[in-house]
Amino acid sequence: MAPDFWNDNRKAQTQMQQLNALREEVSTWEGIATQLNDLHGLVELLEEEPDEEMQAEVVQSLESLDEQVKKLQFALMLNGEHDEKNAILSIHAGSGGVDAQDWAEILLRMYLRWAEHHHFRTEVYDYSEGDEAGLKSTTVEITGRYAYGYLRSEIGTHRLIRLSPFDAAHRRHTSFAKVEVLPDIDDTIEITIRPDDIETDTYRSTGAGGQHVNKTDSAVRIRHLPTGIVVTCQNERSQIQNREVAMKLLRARLYELEQKKHEEETARLKGENVQADFGTQIRSVTVHPYSIVKDHRTNYETGNTEGYLAGDVDPFIYAYLQDKAGGVAAAE
């Protein structure tokens, strides 16, 4: 209710997101408490006057509540420094030619459907089309509480084995795509970017985005000269909006770089070797000669490749986080 609350729009939106998340958390637990009280009353009635139909309803309600509480318990594992933040997801086609570019687009569609299942908002900031099909690279922001906490399990190289639809002989091909996930670093974290350290180019957008695409030089590419990091955004209507988003992406990548330096220095002092997440094959999807999706870190697997590619990624995410937490990597 403060008169100046909306003077800083970015800060206000962040606070509103936090408020809505807290409201949702409180209402969830209050709802569980109310349902338990109601069920307790029904159980007392059943003790006085047994009713098989009512008893079956109570059992079903308890099972549903138990499943809900398990999911809330699982959320306790999302306790990393940035787990509650929005996620910036990037997908890059790897080796495998046109098949790899098609595989990258399949992954994009899979994660967009996963986000939709979680009622997360998505916005494609950058999309580089493939030569014949699919995409070369894309960057998407996924907005929702714990989006980064969930998706950090997806960082790494994903492999696809299938009969290629782009091969005239219809032979089996292996394709690779790399997935990167960064937390959306807000203004509360200090990342200094000097104007002299960046080089900005503008160009015409090439992807889907509305009538303004290809008519004006609204797309923005920013190169951070000291590190060589390049970020692009071509989704927004104006050059100013695209520059703001590109700067946000740059802050996230610079933060990630600083985090890696810190981890490498810590590991060096401890005398340990550092394992890089990127470039490491973490999961394989095989659709020929048999159907299976397997995570090579947790050994969790499923034969439901169709469901997985349609966005059912949660079992793999759960297994990864359970494994990281020292639990049994066996998600149901």
- Class of the CATH domain delimited by 195-270: alpha beta
pLDDT of residue 214: 45
Residue 236 has pLDDT above 90, yes or no: no
183 vs 46, 83, 99, 111, 304, CA distance in Å? Answer: 50, 8, 29, 16, 30
pLDDT for 299: 95
The percentage of residues in the chain with a pLDDT greater than 90, rounded to a whole number, is 44
Residue given tokens 């797309």 in the structure block: 219
At 307 the pLDDT is: 96
Q: Which residues contact 48 (CB under 8 A, 6 or more apart)?
A: none
Alpha carbon distance 324, 319 (integer Å)? 9
Q: Domain extents for the chain?
A: 5-75, 87-185+277-324, 195-270
Q: 297-311 pLDDT, tens per residue?
A: 999 999 999 999 999
Which CATH number describes the domain made up of 87-185+277-324? 3.30.70.1660
Residue 190's pLDDT is 67
| pLDDT band with cut points at 50, 70 and 90 for residue 206 | low
Q: Are 153 and 321 in contact (CB under 8 A)?
A: yes
Mean pLDDT of 222-232: 92
Q: What is the mean pLDDT of residues 194-221?
A: 71
Least Cα distance to 251 among 186, 181, 180 occurs for 186
SS3 state at 211: coil
- How confident is residue 207, by pLDDT bands cut at 50, 70 and 90? low
